Amino acid sequence: MSVFVQIVYFVAAAVFILGLKKMSSPVTARGGIVWAGMAMVAATLVAFLEPGVLDHMSNVVLIVLAIAAGSAVAYVTAKRVAMTDMPQMIAIYNGMGGGAAAAIAAVELVRVTGGHHLSTITLSLAVTGALIGAVSFSGSAIAFAKLQGLIKKTIRLPLHQMLNLVLFGATVVVGVLISMNDQPSAALVLAFFVMALVFGITVTTPIGGADMPVVISLFNAFTGLAVALEGFVLNNAAMIIAGTVVGSSGTLLTQLMAKAMNRPITNVLFSSFGSDGGAAAEESVEGSMKEIEGNDAAVMMAYASKVIIIPGYGMAVAQAQHKVQELTKLLEERGVEVKFAIHPVAGRMPGHMNVLLAEAGVEYDKIVDLEDVNPEFPNTDVALVIGANDVVNPVARSNPDSPIYGMPILDADRARNCIVIKRGKGSGFSGIENHLFYADNTRMLYGDGQKAVAALISGVKALS
């Protein structure tokens, strides 16, 4: 039976990896999710056949009840969640994974305090996984609360980063003491988990919303690593492989996103960028914002040869993606070439804009990444910006004193004309004033994203 279990674990891990590979493309992503889900179900079911598991039926009943309860909650919440709330759902689900890994480590460490023996290496792996999982759990909970609007202010204490450093150092020291002790005290283990959870909170509270996509991706990598480490502790091949794949892919994604912002991970975690605009928010801008009516903007787009649409979080909030797709079809019927330009950190989670556009039925080949689309802007008649801010701010190229200087941006300002749909005249989520809004070739179409696009649709239809 043990050989059969290991074979199923191996096959499940292989299918999981293949499923993850299929998720890399929107065309095959749905199938990839199904594959990975089936693999995880198989690995979960075969775990009941592990030697000794069925000898403790009371534990089996508790496990089944926990799986049923968790599955029911996940199914209901996933069916009901709005697309605009997807980032916070991802954050909290990811946190649950880290919490589960930390809970596994907690069980093993409690057993050690009662006299159960683990080798020094295994005990060290359990402690490391507990630390990473606990930080991911509490940090993801804070990210969820920020995205959900439960925490509206960025909390930054005096000497905040110094306090974080001291807290992290103390947590590591306690973790080392546990690893070096054959039978650590329960109080020491409890102190370790409390400090790890508090550190996850304090390291996340200063981080502004503009950095949340990177933070969510980083905590995803943490969760995968924690699961892999606890897989070594339990000698479970499925956990080791799945956790390693998730951890490595999450790490790679985090690095790519940080590169897209031209900032190291340490800067994302410790600079508090996005919590307020600082001096950059008060920077004076030459010129003025020039307003345009929906009908005039519609005429400009209807008689264009090429239009590039740049979606941002404002489109998600207004749930305007379906209207945007309707506008796209109308323009294409008039012979206008339409493309969508996606910045790697647009929205509140990795791939947020891609998910919204896919939901609206936008064809994948019309969605173009930053590096490929930027050379096309000088030959574009109209760049339509819907709720995006920092990812189109030209100060990233021109002002060395700006917090976003050096960040690769979408070159909307280099289009012949730029129309910006925006709810008001305030600065964006990071608090940095956007010089694009004051450019001579830019016109502002104020209002809710969905209503503004509806006005463009009406204007285009009136020309038919």
pLDDT, tens only, 233-280: 988 888 888 899 889 988 888 888 887 777 777 777 766 554 444 444
| DSSP conformation letters of 113-130 | HTT----HHHHHHHHHHH
Please enumerate in sequence order all residues whose Cβ is within 8 A of that of 150, keeping only pairs 6 or more positions apart, or say none. Answer: 144
What is the pLDDT averaged over residues 303-312?
96
What is the pLDDT averaged over residues 5-30?
85
Spatial separation of the C-alpha atoms in residues 101 and 133, rounded to whole Å: 6
CATH code at 433?
3.40.50.1220
How many angstroms from the chain centroid is the CA of residue 192?
A: 28
Q: What pLDDT was estimated at residue 158? A: 80
Percent of the chain surpassing pLDDT 90: 46
Domain boundary among the residues 270, 297, 317 is at 270
CB 460 within 8 A of CB 327: yes
Closest CA to 253 of 285, 217, 226, 278: 217
Residue 429 has pLDDT above 60, yes or no: no
Q: What pLDDT was estimated at residue 305? A: 96
Q: Match 């980032």 to its residue by tokens.
A: 87
Closest CA to 349 of 220, 172, 463: 220
CB 183 within 8 A of CB 214: no
**19: buried, middle or exposed (CB in 10 Å: 19+, 13-18, 0-12)?**
buried
Spatial separation of the C-alpha atoms in residues 65 and 17, rounded to whole Å: 28
Q: What pLDDT was estimated at residue 266? A: 76
Asked whether residue 276 is assigned to any structural domain, the reply reads no
Asked whether residue 196 is assigned to any structural domain, the reply reads yes
Structural domain harbouring 42: 2-270
227 and 320 both lie in a single domain: no
Asked whether residue 277 is assigned to any structural domain, the reply reads no
Asked whether residue 162 is assigned to any structural domain, the reply reads yes
104 and 12 both lie in a single domain: yes
141 and 35 both lie in a single domain: yes
229 and 325 both lie in a single domain: no
Residue 214 has pLDDT above 90, yes or no: no
Q: Quick check: helix, strand or coil at residue 420?
A: strand
Name the phi and psi angles at 167, rounded to 5. Answer: -65, -45
Mean pLDDT, all residues of the chain: 87
Spatial separation of the C-alpha atoms in residues 23 and 306, rounded to whole Å: 31
Asked whether residue 275 is assigned to any structural domain, the reply reads no
| DSSP conformation letters of 285-345 | -SS---B--HHHHHHHHHT-SEEEEEE-HHHHHHT-HHHHHHHHHHHHHTT-EEEEEE-TT
Count of structural domains, the chain: 2
259 and 325 both lie in a single domain: no
* Entry pTM: 0.81
Residues annotated as catalytic are: 390
Calculate ∠ Cα 193-196-198, nearest 5°: 110
109 and 254 both lie in a single domain: yes
Low-confidence winner among 140-144, 378-382, 408-412, 430-434 (lowest mean pLDDT): 430-434
64 and 107 both lie in a single domain: yes
14 and 150 both lie in a single domain: yes
54 and 115 both lie in a single domain: yes
More confident residue, 422 or 213: 422
Residue 427 has pLDDT above 60, yes or no: no
Asked whether residue 149 is assigned to any structural domain, the reply reads yes
Q: What pLDDT was estimated at residue 387? A: 87
262 and 307 both lie in a single domain: no
Asked whether residue 365 is assigned to any structural domain, the reply reads yes
Antiparallel, parallel or unpaired: β 367-369 and 306-311: unpaired
Q: Retrieve residue 456's tokens.
A: 């463009």
49 and 135 both lie in a single domain: yes
302 and 434 both lie in a single domain: yes
Q: What pLDDT was estimated at residue 275? A: 47
More confident residue, 422 or 307: 307
Domain boundary among the residues 222, 245, 270 is at 270
Spatial separation of the C-alpha atoms in residues 176 and 188, rounded to whole Å: 11
More confident residue, 117 or 200: 200
